[in-house]
Amino acid sequence: MLAAPSTQLVLIGGAVTVRRSDVARLAGTSPSVVSYVLNGGPRGVAEETRQRVLAAIEQLGYRPNGIARSLRMARTMTLGLVVPDNANPYFAELARAIEEESFAEGYTLLIGNSSEDDDRQTTYVQTFLARQVDGLFLVPAHGPLGCLEDLQRAKTPWVTLDRAVEGIAPAVLVDNHGGAYAATRHLLEHGRRRIACLAGPQDVMPAMDRVAGWRSALADGGIQPDAMTLWHAPFGRQAGYSAARTMLAADERPDAIFVASDEQAMGVLRAVAELGLVCPDELAIASFDGVAAAMYSTPGLTTVQQPFRLLARAAVSHLVQQLGPGEVDADEARTEVLPVQLVRRGSCGCIDPTGGDAPETED
């Protein structure tokens, strides 16, 4: 243990306040060297000195003044995130992953829910900008992106997720086409030939990419996509339930459905049970997103797993790069597409893991 500082620490409101000079005195160095250790520069510090400073910080319980540090750095150390529906487990899990990655980088995350409304989204963006967030994550809502002018005027770095704004801001997406293709192909491998698609809204990019993947897999399997049922509905359990009741009432009902989201698929499972059908014997189901609840349905949902942690890590990385010194290269507005993974459970006809155990996966 280092020797105690020779002068008393300042007492404020009954609590001991440790100053940077106290750390420097205990470590036998200068306050500026303590600053270099805390901030990682701008000058290098010998490893032996650095270890003495860190030991002094731990011994004294020193905590840097976050407000003062923010003022010096001209940052608030806060980020904003706007999602279309915070009640949707997909966006809830994505938000949690982004919060954890932001926190690991030293940022506090503020979260807003646009409810898929462009005006509400604009209000949140304007509010976050007024609070001087250092950067924004945006899952664009339906509509014309009315907040674009505000973002461009503020020059605040921003990144989109799930849905891209091509050529304007970095975007982190997943391979929606490839995931839908893999899920549909898997249903074909189970011998299903009347594979319908319950898609999301027609003006949402991921939904249409998933429809395209479904079509491609059918065509490659020798099935005419236009001869199969395609139904568009909002992402949600009630919408999935209502759509399934209609689709399954047809004279020649499908023997499988590729569902564009796990939330919709939960509603489909309810409709199947009410109609007295057995999943997967009479109707196989594969869906998309990989939310935690998919493990606990009966049967468990075969689903395309989105890499929530990797999505968050990539988005935070793009934002932190923009916050760094120097100009951002033009190619920083690129779109990054992450791979997905098919998780096989009981709804497609595979053996269902018990109790939400780790699922069998397919690259």
Query: Looking at residue 14, what is its pLDDT?
Result: 46
Shared domain for 210 and 169, answered yes or no, is no
CATH of the domain at 30: 1.10.260.40
Residue 359 lies in a domain: no
Average pLDDT, the chain: 89
**Could you tell me which residues come within 8 angstroms of residue 69 by beta carbon, excluding any fewer than 6 positions away?**
77
Shared domain for 89 and 121, answered yes or no, is yes
Residue 361 lies in a domain: no
Rounded (10°) angle between helices 89-104 and 262-274: 150
Query: Looking at residue 131, what is its pLDDT?
Result: 92
Give the residue numbers spanning the domain of 47.
20-70
Q: Given the structure tokens 């809204």, which residue do they identify?
A: 201
Mean pLDDT of 282-307: 97
CATH of the domain at 80: 3.40.50.2300
Residue 351 lies in a domain: no
User: Which of 82, 95, 80 minimizes the C-alpha distance to 128?
Assistant: 80
Of the listed ranges 40-49, 114-123, 124-133, the least confidently predicted one is 40-49
Mean pLDDT of 195-199: 99
Question: What pLDDT digit, counting tens, does each position of 16-33 carry?
Answer: 577 888 899 999 999 888
Rounded (10°) angle between helices 205-220 and 176-189: 40
Shared domain for 241 and 133, answered yes or no, is no
More confident residue, 15 or 315: 315
Query: Looking at residue 339, what is its pLDDT?
Result: 98
**Could you tell me which residues come within 8 angstroms of residue 6 by beta carbon, excluding any fewer than 6 positions away?**
25
Residue 237 lies in a domain: yes
Shared domain for 154 and 216, answered yes or no, is no
User: Would you place residue 324 in the very low, low, confident or very high pLDDT band (cuts 50, 70, 90)?
Assistant: confident
Share of residues in the chain with pLDDT > 90 (%): 70
pTM higher than 0.75: yes
**Helix boundaries (H) for 221-344:** 237-247, 262-274, 308-323
* Residue 322 pLDDT greater than 90, yes or no: no
Shared domain for 228 and 110, answered yes or no, is no
Residue 205 lies in a domain: yes
Residue 7 lies in a domain: no
Half-sphere exposure of 54 (CA within 13 A, CB side): 10
Residue 11 lies in a domain: no
Give me Rg for the CA atoms of the chain.
26
The last residue of one of the domains, among 35, 70, 105, is 70
Shared domain for 238 and 324, answered yes or no, is no
Shared domain for 38 and 91, answered yes or no, is no
User: For the chain, first and last CA: distance in Å?
Assistant: 52
Are the C-beta atoms of residues 80 and 109 closer than 8 Å to each other? yes
Shared domain for 204 and 295, answered yes or no, is yes
Are the C-beta atoms of residues 291 and 297 closer than 8 Å to each other? no
The shares of helix, strand and coil residues in the chain, as percent rounded to the nearest 5, are 45, 15, 40
User: How many Cβ atoms are within 10 Å of 242's Cβ, its own excluded?
Assistant: 17
Question: What pLDDT digit, counting tens, does each position of 238-277 carry?
Answer: 999 999 999 999 989 999 999 999 999 999 999 999 999 9
Shared domain for 193 and 284, answered yes or no, is yes
93, with CB counted inside 10 A (0-12, 13-18, 19+), is buried
More confident residue, 285 or 106: 285
Mean pLDDT of 328-351: 85
Shared domain for 35 and 148, answered yes or no, is no
Residue 363 lies in a domain: no
Shared domain for 170 and 313, answered yes or no, is yes
Query: Looking at residue 132, what is its pLDDT?
Result: 92
DSSP one-letter code for 333:
G
The last residue of one of the domains, among 253, 284, 305, is 305
DSSP one-letter code for 106:
T
Question: What pLDDT digit, counting tens, does each position of 125-167 carry?
Answer: 999 999 999 999 999 998 889 999 999 999 899 999 999 987 7
Shared domain for 195 and 263, answered yes or no, is yes
Cα gap 146→131, rounded to integer Å: 19
Structural domain total, the chain: 3
Mean pLDDT of 206-227: 98
Are the C-beta atoms of residues 196 and 228 closer than 8 Å to each other? yes
Question: What pLDDT digit, counting tens, does each position of 179-191 carry?
Answer: 999 999 999 999 9
* Residue 325 pLDDT greater than 70, yes or no: no
3-state secondary structure 316-327: HHHHHHHHCCCC
